[in-house]
Structure 1
Amino acid sequence: MRKRSILLSISIIIIIVLAFGGCIYMNINGLPWKIKETEVFTQTYLSKKYPDLKCKINKAYYNSKSGKYLCNVSTEEDTPVTFRVTMLNKDSGEDNYLESKVNLEAENMVTSLIEENEPSIKIKQISVLEDAGANANSKSYDKYTSFIPGDSYPLKIDIRWESDEVSLEAFVDKVLRIRESLKNRDIEVCGLDVIDDTNNYGIDLSGREVNGKKEGNYNFTKDQIIDDKIAYEMEK
């Protein structure tokens, strides 16, 4: 009798542990059937909102921080756009397709411009995002369907590259030539952050339009950049 009671207690403990573990798992990873539902929802959502857009469903998942179910999607094009669809409920959702598309077009344009003007540079990593400013929200991107220089938000550009071994001043010259080429193409920039892995240099130029005037160090001259240590040699 005592043995049966012990076995029953152990069984109850195991059930409680498994149930507790299952709750933790679902709180982190979401409900499996809800993830499957998100895939089906995404297919229907895209066919209605973007009927002419050919897409591939990559992965549906649960975001424990936001408590929402999302799905990663890629367009089936020569230059695919990767974006996400968020299922708000079974009847409604939202996506960041236009934002992702415009950012990718801007990134490709900036990359080509740098490679064309500075062939000695090998870009290891680049992030080009349209920066609508502190008071904007994701909905602000909806009016842009493509990246058009002179008619889009300012860009925040972060680059990590390798190059020839040069002095700090020569590194600044490279960055300023890039800044000038962006200006000549009518590409507005509010931030240009560059790290040179070859020489271990860094520079962070930033500036926003305030009352019609750009504030910050973005338009600083070479001498100002050197004197104010805006360009610097990073610690190894």
Structure 2
Amino acid sequence: MEWLKLIGIAIIIIGFLVKIDTIAVILIAAIATGLVSGMDFTQILATLGKAFVDQRLVTLFVLTLPMVGLIERFGLKKQASNLIGKVQKVTSGRLMTLYLILRKVAGLASIRINGHPQFVRPLINPMTQSALRTRYNLDQKDVDPKDIDKIKAQTSAMENYGNFFGQNLFIGSAGVLLMAGTFKSLHINVNAVDLVLASLPIAGVTIVIVWLNNILFDRYLDRKYGRSHKGVRNDE
């Protein structure tokens, strides 16, 4: 009956398929797994509480909420847009590529000053939109809403690329240490340094591919807005 202890996995899959509240599904799965494993309800609660306390650093994301609120309150979003509006040669693609590179460098140094709510939404996205309007002398109403959505998607993608392909560039990151520990338990001779060195080429390839994609995005914007608006700066 050991297979019965996997009931929690089945509950999670079914719960996600029928779109029940995620936290409720996980708690039900944890309680069910504990009960079929012979634990009483008190032991289950104690185990869940200990796990929460041991992993309490995960809840630090809550600190980003007041940070975003302060950014919005004091107009940092608007000031960032104004700053980009004064830079004549910046393009939306170049700005996104620059953020990707900074995101990689931050990952290499294990500096967590990034993220969708902290940087992309209040800063990078409006700065990229401002770069588009400045380059082609556009007003907000002149920009196709579909292109605004594309910029939102592209800037979010920069964060995803930087995080996914850059999180293992720091030797002390949780992912690197977890993989190194797993390899060690399997008696495979791979250490944390080897994992970081293997991640470096992937990070470099990612930057090149995304840079080329951003160049194509700039050319798309140039074809769409460069010919129909005077004052465009042909400095490519």
Q: TM-score by structure 2 length?
A: 0.27
- The structure where strand makes up a greater share of residues is 1
- The structure where helix makes up a greater share of residues is 2
Q: TM-score by structure 1 length?
A: 0.27
Of the two structures, which has the highest relative contact order with CA contacts closer than 8 Å and spacing of 6 or more?
2
